[in-house]
Structure 1
Amino acid sequence: MSRATVELPAGVRAFLARPDTATLTTLRADGTPHVTPVRFTYDAGAGLARVTTRAAAGKARNVAAGGPAARVALCQADGFRWVTLEGRATVTDDPERLAEAVRRYTARYRAAPPAPPDLVVIEIAVDRVLSLNL
């Protein structure tokens, strides 16, 4: 599947490569925001941000309940520097996609993510990037 990708300036790409945490904002069924700290990876070539989590986690349930229209925001901040990645999100337990998410997470954070039996990956097809001071 071909996906249009958002071109990121070098400073933004470097910032997103740091082993920092971010906040992921999903929407609950009643429309209120659910914000959680997460570790994530960004694949510029595919235009995908990935967050591994449990299928039972609120963030995964919120994305799944939103169907194909589910949108999320992922924001990494350091003082007055920040990047927000926005886009449509899906949840999958596909073994190949999980393996890719785990591989990228391990490379970024130098440790494998937790591996609960209900591990899934939230994939965000990034279509909007906002940043400040990068």
Structure 2
Amino acid sequence: MSPVTTELASTTRAFLTRPHQAAFTTLRPDGTPHVTPVRFTYDATAGLARVTTRAGARKAGNVAAGGPAARVALCQADGFRWVTLEGRATVTDDPARLAEAVRRYTIRYGAAPPTPPDLVVVEIAVDRVLSLNL
């Protein structure tokens, strides 16, 4: 599937800019789900969500172990309103991509993310957007 680059409803776009956390679901090598709270950004124009984390974190390892077919989901909720972003994910430590992830995170959350020495970014090519009450 190609990334979703179509225009989101203005209410959905606004919801995804609020400084909420999301539940990030990856699959462990044995196929069981691993869910963790994260902060993330979403670039609707590029259809790309980004999560910064440590290279040694379970979520990064799960994505790397899944190879090019690794699928993940991010679900941001506030009461009975929610948006889920699904897609294929990759992990990178490319300096330009990390800088863009940090820049967007800082804008969304008003402070830079933690910067451990093994910082990486999980990039999600979003191909499905689900929502309720937006």
Q: TM-score, normalised by structure 2?
A: 0.96
Give 2:62's aligned residue. 62
Q: Paired residue for 2:18? A: 18
Q: Contact 1:22/1:39 (CA < 8 Å) preserved in 2?
A: yes
RMSD: 1.1
Show structure 1 runs of 4+ deviating over 3 A: none
SS of aligned partner of 1:17? coil
Alpha-carbon offset, residue 7 of structure 1 = 3.0
- The share of aligned pairs that are identical, in percent, is 83
> Deviations along 1:45-76, whole A, 9 cap, x unmatched?
11100000000000000000000000000000
- What's the counterpart of residue 30 of structure 2? 30
Alignment gaps of 5+ in structure 1:
none
Give, in whole Å, the separation in 1 of the partners of 2:8 and 2:82. 13
Q: 2:119 corresponds to which residue? A: 119
Q: Which range moved further: 49-58 or 3-12?
A: 3-12
Query: What residue number does 1:53 align with?
Result: 53
In structure 2, distance between residues paired with 1:18 and 1:45:
17
In the alignment of these two chains, the number of paired residues is 133
Q: Which runs of 5+ in 2 are unaligned?
A: none
- Corresponding residue of 2:106: 106
Question: CA 1:4 to 1:23, structure 2 compared with 1: closer, same or farther past 3 Å?
Answer: closer
Q: TM-score, normalised by structure 1?
A: 0.96
Q: What residue number does 1:132 align with?
A: 132
